[in-house]
Amino acid sequence: MEIRAYRSEDEIGWVRCRVLSFLDTAYYDNVLKEKEKYDNPAIELVAIEDDQVVGLIDIEYEVVERTVCSRGVGLGGMIWHIAVHPDHRRKGIGSQLLYEAEKIAKEKGLNRLEAWTRDDQWVNNWYKNNRFEQVESYLQVFMDGEDELKEIMMSEISGLYPIQAYAHYVGEDKETIKKKFKRVHECICFEKKFE
């Protein structure tokens, strides 16, 4: 297996790897049809095996403090995407990608990485095992159907009826929100400071 910089010809493999790796996670419906492009510089690496993308990591990083990351002091990097193809998991590919990305991040003068993820315990454990700390969270609420939406939103346009909605809940009463709606995910911020 080779870890190298992402190239434009990797895009189809990148998209396939990301889609397949997200299918058994809380992000199963977060499908991209093309690779994201960043406003700021980024560390973009892929893991290649048998000429296929089997892992990826994208970290957009700051050249001006607090323009990419939501917290911290100094220049940080945001892990927007990290994924390992399901057929290649449990081989340490994600950790190797992170290790290589961290080396580059330190060379660029970054002092930390930030990552937001949902409440998949195995994903959260991976971040903790790689020395990230959970620093904050909020709820992502998916509302579906008339029963869940009737108290929340109504259309002022005659004949137009909302059937789905997505919202962030940053309040204190998380348990009530979790009981009220069928699909609620805790979105967790992990941070890793470089020593």
Q: What pairs with residue 44 in β-bridges?
A: 58
**1, two tokens:** 């297996």
Domain ranges of the chain: 2-135, 139-183
Residue 17: φ, ψ to 5°: -60, -45
Per-residue confidence (pLDDT) for residue 122, from 0 to 100: 96
Q: What is the pLDDT of residue 23?
A: 96
pTM: 0.93
Backbone phi, psi, residue 70, to 5°: -95, -5
Q: What pLDDT digit, counting tens, does each position of 59-107 carry?
A: 999 999 999 998 889 999 999 999 999 999 999 999 999 999 999 999 9
- Give pLDDT tens digits for 140-188: 999 998 889 988 888 899 999 899 999 999 999 999 999 999 999 999 9
Q: What is the pLDDT of residues 26-58, one digit of tens each?
A: 999 999 999 999 999 999 999 999 999 999 999
**pLDDT for the residue 79:** 98
Residue 146's pLDDT is 82
pLDDT of residue 161: 86
CA-based angle 59:64:67, to the nearest 5?
Answer: 60
With helix as H, strand as E and coil as C, how does the chain read? CEEEECCHHHHHHHHHHHHHHHCCCCCCCCCCCCCCCCCCCEEEEEEEECCEEEEEEEEEECCCCCCCCCCCCCCEEEEEEEEECHHHCCCCHHHHHHHHHHHHHHHCCCCEEEEEECCCHHHHHHHHHCCCEEEEEEEEEEEEHHHHHCCCCCCCCCCCCCCEEEEEECCCCHHHHHHHCCEEEEEEEEEEECC
Cα distances (angstroms) measured from residue 23 to each of 76, 116, 142, 158, 166 = 29, 17, 17, 37, 19
Give me 11's structure tokens.
Answer: 């895009």
* pLDDT at 3 (0 to 100): 98
Assess contact for 104 and 57: CB atoms under 8 A: no
CA distance 90 to 60: 26
CATH topology of domain 2-135: Aminopeptidase (3.40.630)
Q: What is the pLDDT of residue 77?
A: 98
pLDDT digits (tens, 9 = 90+) for 97-138: 999 999 999 999 999 999 999 999 999 999 999 999 999 999
Give the residue among 46, 50, 60 at the shortest CA–CA distance from 17. Answer: 46
